[in-house]
Chain A
Amino acid sequence: MTSSSLARDVAPKLEKVRRSKRGVDTRPLVWPSIGVLLVWMIVPLALTLWFSVLNYNLTDPTSTGFAGFGNYLYLLRDPALATALLNTFLLVGGVLLTTVLLGTLFAVLFDQEFYGQGAARLFVIAPFFVMPTVAALVWKNLLMDPVNGLFAYFARSIGLDPVVWFSDLPLTSVGIIVAWQWVPFATLILLTAMQSLDREQIEAARMDGAKALARFRHVVLPHLARPVTIVVMIETIFLLGIFAEILVTTSGGPGDATTNLPYLVYKTALLQFDIGGGSAGGVIAIVVANVVAFFLVRTVARNLDS
């Protein structure tokens, strides 16, 4: 490339940059935010990677030196990792399925005209604002307790044996609590999306003789496709990190039955003080999140194009 063609390429760009700034230097305005986020992205990540290849235990001063892939090999051979991965996927998948199905149903329901619609809608979205530790403890004790809980009372009053939720169905129980918090989120987003649906389209479909189910399938569902994708993406980011609900209800048990990836890392690093092993677990969590994020972003991008 000759210098003149380079100048021809660069000159308009420079001009554009100059014009866009219009005499104002925006760098001091933008850089503080970028700077802190850059540090936040790079420093802990680099440290996690570094620790994950060290022998490093806070309680064992003799455990030092380079471990290579030792921590990873140890983790990969440990059945606890496979269990934690499986639990993570079951929890994310189960909650996603429940929240999207119920959220769509409720969004359609609360989009109908009825008395006190606005107030009823406030009650439906309320659980989303309940902090995770409160949600988990209220469900675990007041509702799901096998002796004094409300569900046990209902079960006994119709002649059934009460379910011992956290021993018999531990992962499902945690899933129910988490779903209770996220159904309102899906409902809120999808309801907002429903309200931007063109009423005339539905009316036209009705005129053409389309039954309610057909209207839902051919008019409402296509309209909701994009918001549903967004709900799935945002919920996945948060659901991959479920932690407090597990800590206060089951502490990952019984056995490893409710240990997901975040809880496994917490247990390894902060309860067993194995910094190297915990970091290796952290790296695996990052890889999983990025693989999921990659596919989600691709799906969303495709959805945005169409």
Chain B
Amino acid sequence: MTKPRTKIVMTFVGWGVAFLIFFPIIWMAITSFKTEIDAVQTPPRLFFTPTLENYTAVGDRVNYFQAVYNSVIESVGSTICCLLLAMPAAYAMSFYPTRKTKDLLMWMLSTKMMPAVGVLVPMYLIFRTTGLLDTKTGIVIIYTLMNLPIVVWMLYSFFREVPKEILEASRMDGAGPGQQLLLLLLPLSLPGVMSTALLSIILSWNEAFWSINLTASNAAPLTQLIASFSSPEGLFWAKLSAASLLAIAPILVFGWLTQRQLVRGLTFGAVK
């Protein structure tokens, strides 16, 4: 019903906005292929001989691969822990609801209202005393606790869309909760479980409060490593750009893949 002229105008406006918002990422990508000298040129150079030297330098420099490895272990590890804890809970709450289920879900949500900074001091001291400071185990524990409420909520909303009758039938055939969960519910709601896992990975990967305060070198993920570029001696724009692009690329793809289900997770099911 849109008039062709309006549609063309909207195309220009829409892509114009998209370009402006995305521009910093484009500019970062361009800078990552410049030499350090080209990167700080004024007027900025649009035409230059592209180089891959920054990417090789990032690999050689600092413990970059260590940080990538830490980011992967910490985000995937905490996501697995979250799913192991949350799946049975979400299964029970969606198929055997009691009068307390709603309150329980609201209470879980309310734990997200607690500001991280309010418990920074005791967590730092607990980690120092127990030797968890700057360990991957410590970060996995924190991220699991941080994301557990969101994961329970999201799984709960996906599980509720599975017809109860299917599980009833399997129960008649003598399937226990474990079998129902693994053999029926998981395959039936696999897209939902996958997007829940991806959201949890995205949130952990980009987390920058606990990682900066509780890790130094051994367990430092990418957020913390990139933060170290802010010191004056680390200020090489082209290398910063290369390291940054590598750090955000996988998560950007995950985010694009799950954007629709993401809305549900981020709003606790309030907007679908």
Contact = CB atoms under 8 A, between A and B. Distances in A.
Interface of A: 16-17, 20-22, 24, 26, 28-30, 32-34, 36-37, 40-41, 43-45, 47-48, 51, 106, 109-110, 112-117, 120-135, 137-143, 147-148, 150, 152-153, 156-157, 180, 183-185, 188-189, 192-193, 196, 226-227, 230, 234, 237, 240-241, 243-244, 247-249, 261-262, 265-266, 269-270, 275, 278-279, 281-283, 285-286, 288-290, 293
Interface stretch (B47-55, B57-65, B187-195, B234-242): B234-242
20 contacts: A16-B99, A21-B98, A26-B93, A29-B92, A32-B85, A34-B89, A44-B122, A114-B15, A116-B14, A120-B17, A123-B18, A124-B21, A129-B255, A131-B206, A134-B247, A243-B117, A247-B227, A262-B117, A281-B117, A286-B118
- A-B pairs with the 10 shortest C-beta distances? A47-B122, A44-B119, A244-B208, A129-B255, A29-B88, A26-B92, A286-B118, A262-B117, A114-B10, A120-B18
A110 B98 CA distance: 42
Contacts of A279: 121-122
A128 B224 CA distance: 18
A20 B97 contact: yes
Contact of B2 (A32, A112, A243, A247): A112
Given A32-B89, A34-B104, A185-B266, A289 B18 contact: no
Contacts of A132: 206, 208, 223
A248 B28 CA distance: 17
B113 A112 contact: no
Contact of B17 (A20, A106, A261): A106
Given A30-B88, A142-B241, A282-B121, A129 B202 contact: yes
Main secondary structure of the interface of A (DSSP, over half): helix
A33 B87 CA distance: 9
Interface of B: 2, 7-8, 10-11, 13-15, 17-19, 21-22, 24-25, 27-28, 31, 40-44, 85-86, 88-89, 91-93, 96-99, 104, 108, 110-126, 144-145, 148-149, 152, 177, 202, 205-206, 208-209, 212-213, 222-224, 226-227, 229-230, 235, 237, 240-241, 244, 247-248, 251-252, 254-256, 259-260, 262-263, 266-267, 270-272
B2 to A, nearest CB: 5
A27 to B, nearest CB: 8
Contact of A261 (B8, B117, B235, B247): B117
A129 B252 contact: yes
A193 B120 contact: no
A40 B111 contact: yes
Contacts of B21: 123-124, 126-127, 180, 183-184
A36 B266 contact: no
B263 A188 contact: yes
A249 B14 CA distance: 31
Contacts of B7: 113-115
B117 A116 contact: no
Contacts of A21: 96, 98
Given A123-B21, A125-B259, A130-B25, A36 B113 contact: no
Contact of B259 (A41, A47, A127, A188): A188
B202 to A, nearest CB: 6
B114 A41 contact: yes
B122 A114 contact: no
B200 to A, nearest CB: 14
